[in-house]
Amino acid sequence: MNDQLIEELVGRAQSEGLQLTGVDEMIISLSAKGLTTGEVQAHLELDPL
């Protein structure tokens, strides 16, 4: 995901009144670093109790 696409998606979300949460920002950051969807998902999963 390139920076221009991220800026466009964030701009659209904000123009529709949506606010990014910490999780949203983390997903965008991980995607921008080149992680795949599966890698992002694995990063966000919590260990079961």
Q: What are the extents of the domains in the chain?
A: 3-44
Helix, strand, or coil (residue 7): helix
Query: How far apart are alpha carbons 17 and 33 in whole angstroms?
Result: 26
| The length of the chain, given as a count of residues | 49
- How much is the pLDDT for 1? 56
Q: Are 48 and 17 in contact (CB under 8 A)?
A: no
d(CA 28, CA 33): 9
Q: What is the pTM of this model?
A: 0.52
Q: Using pLDDT thresholds of 50, 70 and 90, give the confidence band for residue 49.
A: very low
- Is the pLDDT reported for residue 5 higher than 80? no
Task: Tell me the pLDDT tens digit for each residue of 22-37.
Answer: 888 888 888 888 888 8
Rounded to whole angstroms, how far apart are CA atoms 34 and 21? 20
Q: Is the pLDDT of residue 47 over 70?
A: no
